Structures are given as C-alpha cells and as structure tokens.
Amino acid sequence: MIKIEGGVCAAKGFTANGVHCGLRKNQTKRDLSLIVSDREASAAAVYTQNLVKGAPLFVTKAHLEDGKARAVICNSGNANTCNANGIEIAEGMCALVEKYTGIPQNDVVVASTGVIGQPLSLEPIASGMESLVKGLGDHNDFAAEGIMTTDTVKKEAAVSFTLGGKKCRMGGIAKGSGMIHPNMATMLVFITCDAAIAPSLLQKALCEDIKDTFNMISVDGDTSTNDMVTVLCNGAAENPVIETENEDYAIFCEALNTVTTSLCQAIAKDGEGASKGLTCKVTGAVDKENARIIAKSVICSNLFKAAMFGSDANWGRVLCAIGYSGAKLDVNKVDVSFVSDKGSILVCQNGAGVDFSEEKAKEILLEKDITIDITLKDGDASAVAWGCDLTYDYVRINGDYRS
C-alpha cells in the first residue's frame, strides 16, 4: 500500500475538472466539478441517514440501482434540499452531463452542497458545462476545489497497490467542514479506482469501511442532509475481477481503508473554525460497539472540545462524556492520557485524578494534533474517532453562514 498523488485522477481512465459557473458569489472560487471514467465502472454509495435528504441523493440512488456509473457531477453553493423542484433540477444536472459528454444520464452520480432551502437554478450550471467538459483532464485539484464550502483546505488521498500482479490505484476527494456527524455516511466523498470488482462486493466493502472511518468523525454533532460517499471502480487496471471475498478483496478493502481514513483525518482537522485535530483512541472495551460509542461521545463533547481549544487538561470532561455516552463500562477502571508530539501524560487512573505536571500537560496540549488515549480494562475491543476543537471561529463562521 503506497501513498501516491493525484486524488480522483490517480486511477487509470479517470479525468476530472472544476470551474466557476456562478453559483457562488466569489468569482475566484470553483463551484462545479465533474469526474469522468472513460469506461463503465462498478459503483457503490452510502447516504446520509437524515430524514430530510437532498434531492440529488434520490436521483443518485436511482441511477446506482444497477451498480454501474461513469460520471460524478457536483456543485457547491447550494444544497438543492427542501426545494419544491429539487428532483427536477438534479435530473437536469445529469441530463446536462449526457448532453455534453454522451454519458447516459442514468450513469451519472449527482451531488450538491451548500445552503439548504434556496432554489437552485440550472442556468449557471448549464452555462458552465462547456468549459467544464472541455477542460476534463488530470485536474484533481480543480474538482476538489469545486466541491468545497467552508473547507479551508482541499482534501485528497490516493494509494497504489497490487491485485493479481496488476498495479491498481485508488484515490478520492472529500468536502466536509461543518454539519459533520455521520450516521451511516456523511460529507461528500468521491473515490475512484481502476481495480475491477463486482458492484455487490464494492458496496459491501464500502458499508463495512465507513463504520470505522466516516462514521467516526464529528465536527459539530449535526448530520447533514446531503452527504454521501461514492466509489467508482472502472477496471482499467485489468486485474482479475474481484467476485468473491478472496485475498484480493482483503487488499482492496485495505486500500479503501487507507484512502478513507486519510480523508477522515483531513475532514476532522479542517472542521469549521478548528485550530486542532483531535483523535480519541479507546482500548479495552467490552466490544467494538461500546468502544465506538465512547470514542464518539468524547469527540462530540462541546465542553471537552472547548477545553482542548484552551489547551486545558480538563480530564473530568472526558470522564463526564464517557459517563453519559450510554456505553457499558466500569467507570472505576478508566485511565486517560493526553498525547502529542511533545509526549504523553497520564491524567486519570482508575476513574480518579492522579498528580501530574500542569506545565507538561500544557506543553503537550499546545500542539496541533492531540490524541486522547482512553483505556477501559473491560475487554479487548478498540475504536478511534476523529474531531476538532470548538473555537471562536466556529461560532463566527456559523453565526453568519448564509451571507
């Protein structure tokens, strides 16, 4: 598993582009992206569990019923959600892809991100299609930029790996900064791969993977209406098609996990207003589910996140969040340590405070990447969750989002 460059263009047979079509006021900001495979690809997706769903999700779901797709179109600046004509607009975006590329509209994945509940006009999108399609090429950066909203950095990851003697590549881009609290899947994540794999196994691999990746991030506890993760595998690498859960499948899953974990960390660290990336590692839980619940509860606590912003070793808030998580555990056996590049410090042992150097703790917590190590001594299961601190900037950004 080798990390490589190229994002969604790393895999053979995939091109991408992103342009400014006018959905966003800032004319220097791309707001429309397209990813295209030169041949049919196996496709899988997972969607937000929010009852209020963006119209594009319904259209994408219908288009992926046959497990096949060839293109992804996505706009930012408007979520196309809670609009009376949302389905019509989402279908219109797919029809535009067919018109300009020849790819049948039911082979198109469509997504939108931005403000909820404001009518989305097809006009700017139609006007941008020609340059969008004309410029298709090795432009992962443009595509990554076109799906960004309040994101401050582009998020991409890619790996190369070998299946049946053939070199394969998998890469993805992600958008996500606020409304990050997945339940099955969240954010917009587009992954491309040139390996050959049956659609049903691709879907299975994705569903398994997100339990430990995209379902373990939280920025603000708000599950978005529009988010999905899609993977397209076009088989351009000419590996033997993966049709059973064999060794190749295991390697494929590992590649997927490497890409998704990397995107998860990038999303969490770029959480709206974040000044620090937080990783919560739970070990010694009675089972995986309880480990996940605890890791998520800590990473979601506003109080804990504000303490991390202040570099305050306030471990009582970690214990508090563990206590109300609803997980099964013996609170009298919990150990807590804070870890960063500056070292590690034990602050709580067997559920009670221990003497520790506040100076050393401060030095550790002033770093940009903090890990909270929680040891439960109840069993062998573990889990990791990713998040960020709660800052003044989170409030500023979200106090005035629509303008």
Catalytic residue positions? Answer: 186
Residues that bind its own copies (CB under 8 A): 49-53, 79, 81-84, 115-119, 178-179, 181, 183, 220-225, 300-303, 306-307, 309-310, 312, 314-317, 319-325, 329, 331, 348, 351-353, 390-392, 394-403
Buried b (16+ CB within 10 A) or exposed e, 45-78: bbbbebeebbbbbbbbeebbeeebbbbbbbbbbb
Quote the least distance from Cβ 322 to its own copies, whole Å. Answer: 7
How far apart are alpha carbons 122 and 100 in whole angstroms? 15
Nearer to its own copies, 48 or 234 (CB): 48
Q: Please state, in angstroms and as integers, the Cα–Cα distance from residue 366 to each residue in 268, 339, 399, following that order.
A: 18, 11, 27
How far apart are alpha carbons 221 and 230 in whole angstroms? 22
- CA-atom Rg of the chain in angstroms: 22
Amino acid at 399: G
Quote the least distance from Cβ 20 to its own copies, whole Å. Answer: 23
Nearer to its own copies, 102 or 402 (CB): 402
Which tokens belong to 133? 């399609």
Q: Are strands 335-340 and 343-349 parallel, antiparallel or unpaired?
A: antiparallel
Find how far residue 372's CA is from the centre of its chain. 21
Nearer to its own copies, 310 or 343 (CB): 310
How far apart are alpha carbons 353 and 20 in whole angstroms? 54
Q: Are strands 188-193 and 228-233 parallel, antiparallel or unpaired?
A: parallel
Quote the least distance from Cβ 396 to its own copies, whole Å. Answer: 7
Quote the least distance from Cβ 320 to its own copies, whole Å. Answer: 5
Which DSSP symbol is given to 22? S
Look at residue 9 and give its three-state secondary structure. helix
Quote the least distance from Cβ 16 to its own copies, whole Å. Answer: 29
Nearer to its own copies, 4 or 303 (CB): 303
Nearer to its own copies, 99 or 396 (CB): 396
